[in-house]
Structure 1
Amino acid sequence: MPAPFRHDYDTPWKDALTRHFPDFLAFYFPAAHAAIDWARPHIFLDQELAQISRDSAMGRRLADKLARVHLCNGDEQWVLLHLEVQAGRDGSLAERVFTCNYRSYDRYRRPVASLVLLADRSPRWRPQQFAYRLLGSEMCLQFALAKLLDYAPRLPDLLSEDNPFALVTAAHLMAQRCRKQPLAAYAAKRYLIRLLYRRQWGRQRIMDLLLVIDWILRLPAELELELRSDIQKMEGGCVMPYVSSFERIGLQIGRQEGRQEGRQEGQVELLGRQLARRFGDLPAAVQNRLQQASAAQLLAWGERVFDAATLEDVLGREEGKTTP
């Protein structure tokens, strides 16, 4: 059964958006994609965005980005794109987008376009502007909007499209359809992973999408074990873009004894990346603790990452004493 929203702000969604930014825009905001000169590099302004939005409510965001891009109109000046991926209904969304937009303009004195992708389950919730009038004065920001639910009629076509965010969208739609139906979620996740393995995509793209699909379609532990076993059989029976990708990125949760050393190293690497995304650079003591941990301990820590508020919540009080 898909898990409820988890407040792990640096989600796999954010990683996929960052690495495949042109694909994201091409799929959800094609007009914006067509207007950008992709021959010139785009630059993400993550630190600047953190400062701009430091005192705004996080809400249920899956990701947000501020990017510097050039347009195809020949103008040498650059402009800004502000992106939000919103998980659920939030009455403060429009005001938050407006605040980030005007603060970005105030900082850079460059035009700012705000684009919002909604991943909620409410068909009627479609905030597209923040506006007010007062004493003859008027303020209004109209922002571009896309909604995952609008792609539901296209679900069969999404499964065959080449854009990676077609599969991400399909995973969200399947997760919504399979709520409280763990067996249906298992079948959906297995099907999407099989599709992914058959794509002639590069290793990094497949890894990124595996992480997103795994994050969206969470299963009970016993079904995750069954899926892992099924994936191993699947890998043995067909040609993959690379071998054992599902295991290499640490998505396995198997509890069997006698695991190969390489598998545990993969778990350590993945858990370290997850902790660093959540809590910043890891102290040497924490890195050593990860290297020395047993497979069972790594599994227990990995299951806490998504819900923990602090590093101590993940690793326990003993480790918390070693961290700043």
Structure 2
Amino acid sequence: MSDDYDTPWKDALTRYFPEFIAFYFPAAYRAIDWALPHVFLEQELAQVVHDAEIGKRRVDKLVRVALLDGADEWVLVHVDVQGNYDKSFAERIFVYNYRIYDRYRRPVASLVVLADGSATWTPDGFSYSVLGCAMGIRFPAAKLSAFAPRLEQLLGDENVFALVTAAHLLTQQTRGQHVQRRDAKFRLARLLYERKWDKQRIIDLFSVIDWMMYLPPEFETQLMDDINSLEKERGMPYMNSFERRGLERGREEGREEGRKEALSELLSRQLEKRFGQLPQPIRDRLKQAGPADLEHWGETLLDAPTLDHVFNRC
């Protein structure tokens, strides 16, 4: 099973947004007035980029914030966590930034976290010029692989996203190495239990780490036995049996949702390659469909003469 990054990043970013900005973009953090509420604009972002490829291994957030200097009543922060190399990524950031500005006529800051495995891919802007006219964007980008030499420092950092970054790096380093991953995951769990954090924060962060660092069932059982022993040793039963079942159920539901998103995205691309741009009702139907329907339509596509034939045969 491939490692799942999409859901844990979304959860952590939403729950601990100020710490996310503080860790990856400290200059931006110092400019934002955190005494005023920040507002996530989920539906608004979806409408702005409704025809974009937002799917597996990509995370987008649009957040309304206020600045300390008071020059603008509020501005928009577009955050993108990119999980894989994409040659058109910088151009897409440019397009998203302009679309958001075009909708709200407010300043827009695009902040990028690069969570891919490449050591050399570091996009930080897009531009073009023609006939004396220049257009483009420069954006700050935090490269997670650049934190690898500082892994031990991350493990001692009190910021939530220091541990999230460490979990991300350890997930990549232990891919296919179940014993090493079990040990790394237990080390992270121990660090969580050593923090002077409230119970909910520890459960939230363990959920992110657990989701990110998948283990086969037999190794997961060993890990949970070790965590049970740790809780008894410290007298800190953070997760009772009900919470553990909820965590496991949430993980499986998230993986199922991720599988559905991946199938939907793949089928959309295949349909567009075969029949051209898809009508909005078809796009909506693909988003709402379950894995069984998506798989069936994918099989029907193989010999369907028209787009209508793909869906009418169901």
TM beyond 0.5? yes
SS at match of 2:28: helix
1:103, 1:91 → 2: CA distance?
20
The Cα shift of 1:62 comes to 3.8
* Maintained 8 Å contact 1:172/1:216: yes
Give structure 1 stretches of 5+ with no counterpart.
251-262, 279-302, 318-324
Q: Partner amino acid for 2:88?
A: S
> Which structure 1 residue ranges, 4+ long, deviate > 6 Å from structure 2?
none
SS at match of 2:156: coil
Which deviates more from structure 2 when the two are superposed, residues 213-222 or residues 78-87? 213-222
1:32, 1:246 → 2: CA distance?
39
* Maintained 8 Å contact 2:41/2:61: yes
Given the alignment of the two structures, is residue 271 of structure 1 paired with residue 249 of structure 2, yes or no? yes
* Maintained 8 Å contact 2:259/2:291: no
Identity across the alignment (%): 51
* Maintained 8 Å contact 1:16/1:209: yes
2:175, 2:35 → 1: CA distance?
42
Where does residue 223 of structure 1 map in the other structure?
Answer: 219
* Maintained 8 Å contact 2:115/2:145: yes
Given the alignment of the two structures, is residue 44 of structure 1 paired with residue 50 of structure 2, yes or no? no
The Cα shift of 1:93 comes to 1.2
The Cα shift of 1:272 comes to 6.7
By percentage of residues, which structure has more helix?
2
Distance change >3 Å, CA 246–CA 50, structure 1 → 2: farther
SS at match of 1:139: strand
The Cα shift of 1:21 comes to 0.5
- Deviations 1:123-177, CA, capped at 9 Å, x for gaps: 1000111111222222111111001111112111111111010000111111121
Alignment of 1:1-324 (within 5 A): 3-6=1-4, 9=6, 11-58=7-54, 60-240=56-236, 243-245=237-239, 247-250=241-244, 263=245, 266=246, 271=249, 275=253, 304=256, 306-308=258-260, 309=263, 311=290, 313=292
Matched length: 268
Give structure 2 stretches of 5+ with no counterpart.
264-288, 297-314
* Maintained 8 Å contact 2:125/2:136: yes
SS at match of 1:56: coil
1:189, 1:304 → 2: CA distance?
22
1:233, 1:66 → 2: CA distance?
41
1:180, 1:136 → 2: CA distance?
52
The Cα shift of 1:312 comes to 5.4
* Maintained 8 Å contact 1:43/1:69: yes
Q: Partner amino acid for 2:159?
A: N
2:97, 2:24 → 1: CA distance?
20
> What TM-score does the superposition give when structure 1 sets the normalisation length?
0.76
Q: Partner amino acid for 1:213?
A: I
- Deviations 1:231-279, CA, capped at 9 Å, x for gaps: 1111111132xx24274443xxxxxxxxxxxx5xx36xx637975xx6x
2:32, 2:105 → 1: CA distance?
19
1:234, 1:167 → 2: CA distance?
19
1:118, 1:50 → 2: CA distance?
21
SS at match of 2:34: coil
